[in-house]
Amino acid sequence: MKHTKRIALKSLAAVAAAAVTATSVCCFPVFAEDNIDESANNRAVLEYIDHYVVEEIWVSAPALYNFAPVSDRLFSDAEEKRIYNVILEEIKKIANGTRTSTQITVPCSLPANVDANALSDRIMNSLLNDCPYELYWFDKTSGMGMSGNTSEITFSFVVSSDYGSGYAVDPSKTTAVSSAVTTINEIIAKYAGKSDYEKLVGYKEEICALTSYNQDAANNNSTPYGNPWQLIWVFDNNASTNVVCEGYSKAFKYLCDMTTFDAPVYCYTVSGKMDNGNHMWNIVEIDGKYYHVDITNCDEGSVGAPEKLFLKGVTSPTANGFSINGISYVYDADSKSMYSTETAGLSTTDYTYVPKTLDSIEVSADSAHKKVYTIGESFDPAGLKITLNYSDSSTADVLYADASAEFSFDTSVFSEAGEKSVTVTYKGKTAVITGITVNKKTPAASDFTFTGPADLTADGTAKQASVISSLQGMGTVTVKYEKGGKIVASPVEAGTYKVIIDVAEGTVYSAASDITAPDWTFTLTEEELPEETPEDKPEELPEETPEDKPEELPEETPEDKPEELPEETPEDKPEELPEETPEDKPEELPEEVPEVKPAPIYQISAPSRVYIDKLSAKAGDRINVKAPFGYDMVITDEKGQRVAVISESGSFVMPASKISIRLVQNDSVAIMSTAWNKAYVYSYDSDMNRIKISSDRKRGIVVIDLGEEYAGESFTIYSGRKNTSNEIISGTLDKNGRYKFSSEDGKNYTLVIG
């Protein structure tokens, strides 16, 4: 009621105060029976559903009281509890606008002797206490209907005229509910950084500014129970919707319920009479004591404005009530039956606010922040909880998630492994977060760049793949080759090789073994001889045609035979000539000189990357050859005897044997400076596969980085190819295995270590 006119409420909602979901109960002096009129109490039980806007749906906040749902205490039978849970889920659908019918049929299996009335009471009482928001549409004055049998029951809930009619909800009428929730959240956020006392004062002032006392509803007994008695009309930002004292007290309690206080603060609603007029007010527990709060009569124009009835101690306490500033308050029977008499009663002194200061902070023992990191990560404050220590010896816990704007940290990226600490600052106070472990990163295949051998010909020379990481802090990489499931020393023979690496421990990355990737493979093939060209084939003679055959002569006939001559007689013999004398011999011709055969030609075999001016030659011929940059050529005869070794280019004399040429990488590194801001490795020896050539932002500077294991190593840099006349720089690498030198655009250099 509003004290100025002592207008009675339409409904007491007396039992509403008893429906708080908490184990802690408000305590008063020992009660005795009284004769207060309770004619409206039956209806008040049902009215309490609007005591809250349920936390689970609209506001994410912990329950105020650590009190088990009423249903957990009222249902010992599993089937009855199942029935209740089905009803509860359907009611939530109605509240959320996904169901419009408020008649809920539940299949069941109950014993024949079930007490239907007792079951109905248990279900109704549980709903009123466990889910106050979900039933905002329910006409509590009409109650709940139940019909059916032991195998199926229908529960019927009458809809308030504010939200529909009969047994159907109109979803379009819930706009005010959404608007109210938005306003509630804004108010709570507005006072989030204030002290507990400042929050309570702020909530009182916000409520009094948003609403006024609804004289029309209070004076008209025919006004149907509904929104004038509920908190929705306090927060809907509609100047034409006002409430009676029940709306004031519910609004204040709900704001308290949804607030995270620094210390325990609890708010209760109490119903009874104020100077013989029906009334509802609040009791607030703060700093372990209970104080009287009457928000209705703190409003402008009321007897307690602005704070005469706010957080006050009472005088003349009795078993039935108390008085304060000459105003009497009497508890109704339902309030007395719902609150415990075992604890201390209302304070007899006013609450005194003493501003406290924050002395220090410390990391809470149960803080759930992340404690294990990897190099490169930053501190993650999620889950961090600190304890605030105040000047009055009180303490409070604060989660980072609830006040992130107030926190700051002195950390950036963790760059080294080991045990670390982080300094946290909250409202000017600092604490050290210890117990943080930072581990090295674990190498993965994706951290490396794989390059297979440039020459994939199985020519008897060992081939080398390159696996390099550009990441700082990576350990030395050892390359292994697997063929046919077995590790081989080096790829020489034809076949497919899988590349596997082992990584030694580095400053940032830990050691790892047997790292590989599906595409880290290469295949060596035998060198193919060039196909025979048409010029090399002997000329084929055309097949003999019939015209080319000689004419066959006819067989000889007897007539064709020549006439046989008669045998020679001595008389017919010619006269014998005298013996020939030397003078008579003809002049002898000189003996025939044998034909001179040409010198033999020998074949030369070489990889396709070798330039050679002849593919065959005679013994004694001079052959000119040139290898790719960074390679030497080993020349052997058909017996495997070495003929010559030529570095990159030169010539040799052809022996009386066919020869083979194979490539061998030399011991130098060629650096190609292609532009003033670019440089890269053109070729390198396998023992130096960690070399890194880069350039900095300064024009013409080439950076050589071989890693710490090459610290102090001597080196020589040549302009162009390795040649003593081309030496331009010599020295030793620094402690990090690095050296910088100026280069020219497009200039090539050769680096030799040792």
The 10s digit of each residue's pLDDT in 626-672 is: 987 667 889 999 888 888 888 778 899 999 899 999 888 765 555 54
Terminal C-alpha separation, the chain: 100
Query: What pLDDT is recorded for position 213?
Result: 92
Query: What pLDDT is recorded for position 100?
Result: 92
Quick check: is 532 in a domain?
no
Query: Cα separations (Å) of 380 from 369, 372, 418, 423, 634?
Result: 7, 10, 17, 13, 61
User: Do 638 and 496 share a structural domain?
Assistant: no
User: Do 221 and 313 share a structural domain?
Assistant: yes
**Burial category of 275 from C-beta neighbours within 10 Å (exposed 0-12, middle 13-18, buried 19 and up):** middle
Query: What pLDDT is recorded for position 281?
Result: 92
User: Do 186 and 105 share a structural domain?
Assistant: no
Query: What pLDDT is recorded for position 753?
Result: 79
Domain boundary among 663, 679, 711: 663
Q: For the domain that residue 372 is a member of, what is the CATH number?
A: 2.60.40.3630
User: Do 68 and 19 share a structural domain?
Assistant: no
Question: Where in the sequence is the domain holding 508, given as residue range(s)?
Answer: 445-514
Query: Which are the contacts of 72, defined by CB distance < 8 A and separation ≥ 6?
Result: none
User: Do 383 and 495 share a structural domain?
Assistant: no
Quick check: is 27 in a domain?
yes
The pTM of this model reads 0.42
CB atoms within 10 A of CB 383: 13
Question: Any alpha helices (H) in 318-437, and if so which ranges?
Answer: 333-338
| DSSP letters for 306-351 | TTTTEEE--BS--SSEEEETTEEEEE-HHHHHHS-SSS----SS--
Quick check: is 468 in a domain?
yes
Domain boundary among 639, 663, 687: 663
Domain boundary among 617, 646, 663: 663
User: Do 191 and 327 share a structural domain?
Assistant: yes
Confirm if 136 and 229 have CB atoms less than 8 A apart. no
CA dist., res. 247 & res. 281, Å (int): 10
The count of structural domains within the chain is 6
CA dist., res. 497 & res. 481, Å (int): 6
CB atoms within 10 A of CB 507: 14
User: Do 332 and 213 share a structural domain?
Assistant: yes
Query: Which are the contacts of 227, defined by CB distance < 8 A and separation ≥ 6?
Result: 162, 176, 233, 241, 243
Q: Which residues in the chain land under pLDDT 70?
A: 1-73, 128-133, 174-176, 334, 337-344, 528-596, 629-630, 666-700, 721-724, 744-747
Quick check: is 559 in a domain?
no
User: Do 413 and 328 share a structural domain?
Assistant: no
Residue type at position 368: A
CA dist., res. 748 & res. 341, Å (int): 97
| Neighbour-count burial for 58-84, b at 16+ CB within 10 Å, e otherwise | bbeeeebeebebbbeebbeeeebbebb
User: Do 457 and 428 share a structural domain?
Assistant: no
Quick check: is 236 in a domain?
yes
User: Do 489 and 400 share a structural domain?
Assistant: no
Quick check: is 714 in a domain?
yes
User: Do 325 and 234 share a structural domain?
Assistant: yes
Quick check: is 712 in a domain?
yes
- How, if at all, do strands 429-439 and 372-374 pair? parallel
Query: Nearest 5°: CA angle at 621, between 615 and 626?
Result: 55
Query: What pLDDT is recorded for position 133?
Result: 62
User: Do 315 and 182 share a structural domain?
Assistant: yes
Query: What pLDDT is recorded for position 690?
Result: 41
CB atoms within 10 A of CB 602: 18
C-alpha 338: how far from its chain's center?
51
Residue 90 parent element (H or E) = helix 78-95
Quick check: is 392 in a domain?
yes
Query: What pLDDT is recorded for position 82?
Result: 95
Query: What pLDDT is recorded for position 375?
Result: 94
CA dist., res. 496 & res. 626, Å (int): 29
